[in-house]
Structure 1
Amino acid sequence: MPQNTAASPQNRKLVATWLFVLAGMIWVMVGIGGYTRDSGSGLSIMDWDPIIGALPPMSADAWNKLFALYKTIPQYQLLHQGMDLDGFKQLFWPEYIHRLWGRLMGLVLLLPLVGFALTGRIEKRLIPWLALLFALGGLQGFIGWFMVSSGFFPNSTAVEPWRLSLHFFAAMFLLGAVLWTALTVQAPEPARPAGCKGLKRLTLAAFVLLLLAMFGGTFVSGIHGITAFDPANGIGTGQPPAGWPMSGIFTDTATIIFDHQLLATLATIAILAVTVQTIRHEPPAPVRDAAALIGLLVILQFVLGVTALVSQMIDIGVIHQMNAVLLLGGLLNLLHRLRGATA
């Protein structure tokens, strides 16, 4: 007779699949959010209304009122003076989809959580933790509005980069927590892989370097660095700007881009070192495959970063951001598989 307990293989698989889907939705959210940021769409909705805001404008009058409100902020007055309603709609829809996707993620977390709890398909110890993640998801919406509101300041045409960074890393915390929980539900006991001594420490170091590189990347996005490549003035060429590293660390375009490039290069080297060292240790297949995956992803990430900067194409920049999140998830997956390895 099949087991009906929350810890049964069937229920574990069901709960893990649900959490993997949720993690995937957060990843998609990064892409939508990256596009709204890089395209300048994020300031097109001037209210934060979690309930009524789920509906788009339903009449010409509603559209005109929203457009009139947009005309009062500096982004319109300084960058989009003379824009017509159709132009405003092109800004509106990406940000609307961004917010709607966030609401959908909340439902995808909450409704199955309630259903699984009522039917006994989820372990009781997970319920408070996942309820906390739901609350943190609501807080993430507030942080998003805190970020957007900075774009309404006088003479401001974009959000403050440090608020963008806060919003992004709050999302990364949620993604990491959901993904780690899904992996643990799927494989609750550490595998204790043999032949992996030292790999956990090396992987942790690579993980920290990647986080630092992603932190630098949020500031590159915050200053629209994708459009700043200027070899004639040494911006984006990989050469340290004058006065580096003591000046303009969060304000000077050339310094921000160089710092990101430096951190990204260090992270790339560290991640490739993890891949090479793992393969040399001849670990079990799951560990080897996870290490090989991050090696492929980091090479792709480096190529995407250079291509985005040189081409100045927003779409490539968004793919670069999404691949960074995949790489982060890949490192978390490897760390999870190394849980039982000797340090």
Structure 2
Amino acid sequence: MPSDIARPTNSPLHAVRPVGGSASVANRKLVSSWLFLLAFMIWVMVGLGGYTRDSGSGLSIMHWEPIIGMMPPLSKDAWDKVFALYKTIPQYQILHKGMDLAGFKQLFWPEYIHRMWGRLMGAVLLLPLIMFALTGRIEKRLVKWLFLLFLLGGVQGLIGWFMVSSGFRPDSTAVAGWRLSLHFFGAMFLFSAVLWTALVVRAPEPVRYENMAGLRRHTQVAFALLLLAMWGGTVVSGIHGIADFSIAKNVGDGMPPPGWPVSGVLNSPAAIIFGHQCLAVLAAISILSLTVRALRAEAPGPVRDAALVVGGLVILQFILGVTALVSGRIDIGVVHQMNAVLLMGGVLLMLYRLRGAKT
């Protein structure tokens, strides 16, 4: 049976243990709970961002004003001015010509909530961080790391505006796909960094499991394949691939389009969707085999439980992906995206529990 004995480590984040003598365990629980809340908020943000993207509402606010932009239009004149700005961009002129103010508000509010949620996350990170630093609940090295994440959150806001601004070009009705991918993976980095930090704060000492190094390497490969599949998903979202699904036209039916891959893997909706499907299948096989391997190896309870979670989530993810594509429903597509983040978090949890694995 594997050994569950915990020994010290020299991991860079090992020094996140809060000070406070006999209260240090309570401090770890408090600080980690706060970080888990932040990770949850990022997950919700992914859902909000996915909806604004798929519904086309992301271009409804024409300015990025971190402070002034906190106030929505409060009068008829203010609404008319915001709506008039929207009428100047190609999305309105090509897709929504003749839309009334009520229709515009349906586009405006999801994007406004999305941006306000981002500001709220910044406050939830910065204000407790200052309080915890002043009261000595966390060490200086962790304060610096979390302050860096706060700054990166600001950069993520800039990347978001960089993405949105690409949709204002004279020939465009949507944002540039590669900028969408950049924005999404910026969010994934922040989610992963916050979640990993929360886990290490909660339990700094890794467990030295015997004969689990191979399983750890397998988990690392599965994590990499999952990231590739998620990147493919952002490309599909970037072209609104869900609207291009057609069995009759060989788009999204799970078969390679004519001439693929010689004709190119990013040259048509059919090729892009098929490429994402290939990456998704590879990731699913890797994760399911990881679950089976953990069970057959009689992995320790924490590792086994994480493996069962990711196995269940990857099956759900596959079902959601097929359902979203066939039905064309935006809401299912958003749930598919959010479940992908949960799945990534599950694989990350497994990597965390295997970080002290020995050959």
Following the alignment from structure 1 to structure 2, what is the Cα–Cα distance between the partners of residues 106 and 233?
Answer: 45
Following the alignment from structure 2 to structure 1, what is the Cα–Cα distance between the partners of residues 78 and 150?
Answer: 31
Distance apart, 1:5 and its partner CA = 4.2
Deviations, residues 235-270 of structure 1 (Å, cap 9, x unaligned): 001111122123343341111100000000000000
Extract structure 1 runs of 4+ deviating beyond 6 A.
Answer: none
Q: Which residue of 2 aligns with 1:234?
A: 250
Deviations, residues 280-336 of structure 1 (Å, cap 9, x unaligned): 111211111000000000000000000000010000000000000000000000000
Distance apart, 1:212 and its partner CA = 0.2
Q: Which residue of 2 aligns with 1:317?
A: 333
- TM-score, structure 2 as length reference: 0.93
Matches within 5 A, 1:79-228: 79-228=95-244
Q: Quick check: 249-258 or 294-303, which moved more? A: 249-258
Matches within 5 A, 1:27-42: 27-42=43-58
Following the alignment from structure 2 to structure 1, what is the Cα–Cα distance between the partners of residues 172 and 267?
Answer: 15
- Are 1:23 and 1:175, in contact at CA under 8 Å, matched by a contact in 2? yes
Query: Paired residue for 2:344, among 328, 332, 340?
Result: 328
Distance apart, 1:7 and its partner CA = 7.7
The secondary structure found in structure 2 opposite 1:34 is helix
- Are 1:6 and 1:120, in contact at CA under 8 Å, matched by a contact in 2? no
Query: Paired residue for 1:70, among 56, 73, 86?
Result: 86
Following the alignment from structure 1 to structure 2, what is the Cα–Cα distance between the partners of residues 197 and 222?
Answer: 38
2:66 matches 1:43: no
- Are 1:196 and 1:278, in contact at CA under 8 Å, matched by a contact in 2? no
Aligned residues: 341
- Are 1:279 and 1:288, in contact at CA under 8 Å, matched by a contact in 2? yes
Gaps in structure 2 of 5+ consecutive residues: 1-18
2:270 matches 1:254: yes
Query: Paired residue for 2:300, among 263, 278, 284?
Result: 284
Q: Which residue of 2 aligns with 1:306?
A: 322
The secondary structure found in structure 2 opposite 1:8 is helix
- Are 1:195 and 1:283, in contact at CA under 8 Å, matched by a contact in 2? no
Deviations, residues 197-254 of structure 1 (Å, cap 9, x unaligned): 4101100000000000000000100111111110001000111112212334334111
Deviations, residues 26-78 of structure 1 (Å, cap 9, x unaligned): 00000000000000000000100000101111111110000000000000000
CA RMSD of aligned residues (A): 1.2
Could you tell me which amino acid in structure 2 is paired with residue 294 of structure 1? V
Following the alignment from structure 1 to structure 2, what is the Cα–Cα distance between the partners of residues 5 and 259?
Answer: 54
Decide whether aligned partners of structure 1 residues 281 and 92 sit closer, same or farther in structure 2, where only a CA change above 3 A counts.
Answer: same
- Are 1:213 and 1:260, in contact at CA under 8 Å, matched by a contact in 2? yes
Q: Which residue of 2 aligns with 1:61?
A: 77
Following the alignment from structure 1 to structure 2, what is the Cα–Cα distance between the partners of residues 277 and 123?
Answer: 38
Distance apart, 1:124 and its partner CA = 1.7
Could you tell me which amino acid in structure 2 is paired with residue 238 of structure 1? G
- Are 1:5 and 1:120, in contact at CA under 8 Å, matched by a contact in 2? no
- TM-score, structure 1 as length reference: 0.98
